[in-house]
Amino acid sequence: MAKTSFKINIIAAFLICSFANAQLFRTRDRADNREEDDVRQFSYGFYLVANNFDYKLVLDPKFGMNGQKNLVTPKSSYGFGAGLIGRLRLNENFDLRLEPALQFVERELYFNTQSNDRFAGGTPANQPFVPRVLTDADKLRTVKSTYVDIPLLLEMHGERWYNSRPYAAAGVNWMMNLQSNSKSEEDNQQGIFRSTASNFAWTAEIGIQFYFTRFKLTPGFRGTFMTNNELVADDATTPPYWTSAMSGIKTRAFMFVLKFE
């Protein structure tokens, strides 16, 4: 029994060493997949996205804070997206990429602003109003967004190591929010949260490209940060429980992208 076990261990060790030698050390015989992709002028593909969108808030010091307490808090959630890829080869190390996508997003804003009743008599920043008891529905805004996300990226990639290649990319985005409610005549007093429709952002991304025999697979991590204020203020006659509590909101998003080319 011991001799049989010893023989099995010897055979297993031999097979493992042979496999390691073939995969790691016999570089002369290893094939490089899809070498033509590196010199092709144009290429295309598609990608899938798992995203996490959040709001970066700038609170109004009067209506958005009570002492050191923040009266408005955001909550992010996970969403998904999908897009297309168009690549233009610039030279050996740089590509230009256009990657339009649809991003499906849902976030929450919680307004703990009942204490703003103290401004009911009016201030230079707001008209007098009749205080109301905020219900749970008044305090919580679920903000659903569908972004047409169009990033233009300059990609820099390193030297190819067999069938993989690291890269980094950066660029600018135009993002159209199809659910912005920016033209709605109703505001938060009627339960409608409004934001800007047309937005601009910058993006940075890193990842590794893997070459297979039939396609190139690229997992990467992307961060997108809007540069403009997305806040659309409530009407002047609306009590300062909602948008008056914020000076600005900007989207920030972190994504895992999976590209197929």
Q: In the chain, count of helices (H) and strands (E)? A: 2, 12
Tally of CB atoms within 10 A around 123? 13
Tokens of 216: 């190139």
Distance CA 23, CA 29 (A): 10
Residues whose CB falls within 8 Å of the CB of residue 34, separated by 6 or more in sequence, listed in order:
211, 212, 213, 215, 216
Distance CA 60, CA 260 (A): 45
Does the pLDDT value for residue 201 go beyond 60?
yes
Strand partners for 42: 88
pLDDT tens-digit map of 66-119 = 988 999 999 998 999 999 999 999 998 899 999 999 999 999 999 999 999 999
Q: In the prediction, which pLDDT does 36 show?
A: 64
3-state SS class at 47 = strand
Tell me how far apart the terminal alpha carbons of the chain are, to the nearest angstrom.
53
Q: In the prediction, which pLDDT does 34 show?
A: 63
Q: What confidence category does residue 31 fall into, taking pLDDT thresholds of 50, 70 and 90?
A: low
Q: What confidence category does residue 10 fall into, taking pLDDT thresholds of 50, 70 and 90?
A: very low
Q: In the prediction, which pLDDT does 214 show?
A: 85
pLDDT tens-digit map of 133-176 = 999 999 999 999 999 999 999 999 888 888 889 999 999 999 99
Name the helix (H) or strand (E) containing 252: strand 246-260
Q: In the prediction, which pLDDT does 2 show?
A: 40
